[in-house]
Amino acid sequence: MMDYIKDILTYNQSSPLIFTRFFFWGFFAIVLLGYTFFANKRVSRSLYLLVLSLFFYYKSSGFFFFLIIFSTLVDYFIGWWIYNTEKSTARKLQLALSIFINLFVLSYFKYTFFFTGAINDMFGTNLVAHNYLAEFSNLFTGTSFDTAKIFLPVGISFFTFQTMSYTLDIYRRELKPVKNIIDFGFYVSFFPQLVAGPIVRAKDFIPQIYQKFKLSRYEFGLALFMILKGLIKKIMIGDYIAVNFVDRVFSNPDMYTGFESLMAMIGYSLQVYVDFSGYTDIAIGVALFMGFRLNQNFNSPYKAKNCGDFWSRWHISLSSWLKDYLYIPLGGNRNATKGTYLNIALILGVVMLLAANMWVSIGIMVAAIIVLLIMRFIPSAKKGIVRNINVMITMLFGGLWHGSSWNFLIWGGLNGLGVITYKYWRKISPWEKYNNRIATIWKITITFGFITFTRVFFRAPDYETATTMLNRIRTVFTPELIPNIISGYYKVWLMMLFGFITHWLSYAFKDKWRDKFINLPHWSQAIISAMVIFIVYQSICSDMVAFIYFQF
């Protein structure tokens, strides 16, 4: 009995707490049971959800839950410090301190090995990364972490951006500090969106903390519908095609034909969407049951007609965060700021380190000088160049936010090129003035094809695997084997077809059936929910697959 209780209360690295495990739904049932006593007691409600959210993060990430406590304390006190300071210079320094601490912690866990290896390759040094936090834990808590490895805490990129938005909004006078640290801790650690978003901005969420609990009948039905939809997306579609096809091809592309590589790329585009949006759907539903409204994070991204449109629909919370806190402060499409030139230098420095080649570094510096000279002596070209540079900086940082490798940098850069290219293409495109069905399908197809192509760098474990898959498509397509491949994986193709069809259905059609479910009597909703859950969990063909965005 004691061992069973210990298993419930302690972190298990091989079985982290995620939405798709039955343990989570037991946890959530207990949360809701206790919540009935605190729903209309504001301070008690925040404290109750703070404690349970920290427990959730501990069960998801273990010892690293101390990091979220550290981030909470730092930004809570700096937020008040900024708010109570009138001098502009002092406020800027306080904001800079908050940004530095947050980015330093994020960079330590996410980029230490990345930069250490790049420096060693570039300069022939033998620097060795050391995990001082693991050493501290081993010394004072008796753990046995490997100090030669730095593990990435679950969701660190998400809660870091959340705490940064808090101090940034206070600095901009768009938000007043929370009344106490319990409320702020609750905002930072709220468990539905803690480990994989959406990134919830302080000015959107904190006002809800001070409102009374409210949940209409429509919202109850919507919450249940979102959870069921998320489970179908994640488990029945995403996990099935990943385990039975996509993961196999990406793990060893040399064993598969070019056609299989192409279909794996298309399958991964579907998988990453249903996986991430499925998590978001569940997070929105779970939060709504407790009376908190999270922002939409996806808007049918594969209906996008161009790359810019895609990024206004995909991971909306990150795209809008980068736009408001990076792109616009850099000058947006108007001009270049000191931050523009600083970030150009930073990005170019990262690229030169990754290249680890002196001639590549010289070429990059020469190209940068040429661009600066054009901006200096050809004023008419300056605005366009500045706009494109700011777009590219934003997309490259978006790539690096996802991970520290050439692949993510290439992926971000390709998407930046896609956004920039469309700005010029739309001026000469013969299709741009048409919005009929054929033109729309053509635009969506081209955009989806480009996004799918870039995703090979996002998914592949390294650059060599990505290029191998692309080369297999070009050189080993073997069309004579396609009928056998289609028959051999017909269940996977049917599941992919189901996923894409449901995605491309009209908004009106999907909203109609959503509202039909919401307006059903509760007993009908209960029966349908039980049937959906039974079917979804019957489709599991391996151990639970972690959400893709947990690694970010």
Same-domain check for residues 486 and 527: yes
Q: What's the distance, CA 306 to chain centroid? A: 21
What pLDDT digit, counting tens, does each position of 343-352 carry?
Answer: 677 666 666 6
Q: Which long-range contacts (CB under 8 A, 24 or more apart) does 409-414 make?
A: 409/350, 409/351, 409/354, 410/457, 410/463, 411/454, 411/455, 411/457, 411/458, 414/453, 414/454, 414/457
Task: Compute the CA torsion angle 328, 373, 308, 460 (nearest 10 deg).
Answer: -110
pLDDT above 70: residue 2? no
Q: Could you tell me if 18 and 161 lie in one domain?
A: yes
Is the model's pLDDT at 274 over the cut of 90?
A: yes
Is 455 a member of any domain? no
Nearest Cα to Cα of residue 513 among 214, 228, 216, 279: 228
163 located within any domain: yes
Q: Which residues contact 154 (CB under 8 A, 6 or more apart)?
A: 16, 57, 60, 61, 64, 195, 550
Task: Report whether pLDDT(38) > 90.
Answer: no
Answer yes or no: do 200 and 329 share one domain: no
Residue 202 lies in a domain: yes
End residue of a domain, out of 166, 183, 213: 213
pLDDT tens-place string over residues 478-510: 888 888 888 888 889 999 999 999 999 999 999
Least confident of 320-329, 380-389, 409-418, 518-527: 380-389
Identify whether residues 177 and 72 lie together within a single domain. Answer: yes
Domain co-membership, 125 together with 225: no
pTM to 2 decimal places: 0.87
Quick check: 46 and 52 in contact, CB under 8 A?
A: no
Predicted confidence at residue 235, as pLDDT, reads 86
SS3 498: helix
Q: What is the pLDDT of residue 339?
A: 63
Give CA–CA dist 261/471, Å, rounded.
Answer: 9
Among 152, 165, 537, 120, smallest CA distance to 326 is for 165
Report the domain count for the chain.
3
The answer to whether residue 474 is domain-embedded is yes
Query: Are 140 and 147 a contacting pair, CB within 8 Å?
Result: no
Out of 98-107, 376-385, 399-408, give the one with best mean pLDDT: 98-107
> What is residue 355's predicted lDDT score, i.e. its pLDDT?
60
Specify the pLDDT at position 232.
92
Task: Give CA–CA dist 220/526, Å, rounded.
Answer: 12
Q: SS3 for 142?
A: coil
Q: Do the beta carbons of residue 212 and residue 40 sit within 8 Å?
A: yes
Q: Check pLDDT > 60 for residue 200.
A: yes
pLDDT band of residue 354 (cuts 50, 70, 90) is: low
**Banded model confidence at residue 75, pLDDT cuts 50, 70, 90:** very high
Reference 393, options 463, 326, 304; nearest CA is: 326
Is residue 57 a contact partner of residue 189, using CB atoms and an 8 Å limit? yes
Higher-confidence residue of 24 and 291: namely 291
Do 203 and 325 reside in the same domain of the chain? no
464: Cβ contacts below 8 Å, ≥ 6 apart = none
| Domain identity same for 137 and 62 | yes
pLDDT at 340: 67
Percent of the chain at pLDDT exceeding 90:
26
- Domain boundary residue, one of 183, 213, 243: 213
Within a domain: 530: yes
- Note whether residue 457 is domain-resident: no
The mean pLDDT of the chain is: 83
Judged against a pLDDT cut of 90, whether residue 224 lies above it is answered with yes
Last residue of a domain, one of 213, 241, 259: 213
Same-domain status, 197 and 291: no
> Is 377 inside a domain boundary?
yes
Contacts of 183 (CB under 8 A, 6+ apart): 46, 206, 209
Evaluate if residue 543 carries a pLDDT over 60. Answer: no
Q: Which domain holds residue 244?
A: 217-298+466-552
Residue 474: the pLDDT is: 85
Low-confidence winner among 97-106, 128-137, 202-211 (lowest mean pLDDT): 128-137
pLDDT above 90 for 39: no
Give pLDDT, residue 299.
92
Cα–Cα distance between 357 and 365 in angstroms, integer?
13
Q: Specify the higher pLDDT residue, 197 or 416.
A: 416
Per-residue pLDDT reduced to its tens digit, 149-188? 666 677 788 888 888 999 999 999 888 888 889 999 999 8
Q: Are residues 48 and 110 in the same domain?
A: yes
At 401, is the pLDDT very low, low, confident or very high (cuts 50, 70, 90)? Answer: confident
Does one domain contain both 415 and 394? yes
Q: Are 206 and 280 in the same domain?
A: no
- Indicate whether 437 belongs to any domain: no
Per-residue pLDDT for 534 more than 70? yes
542 with 472, same domain: the answer is: yes
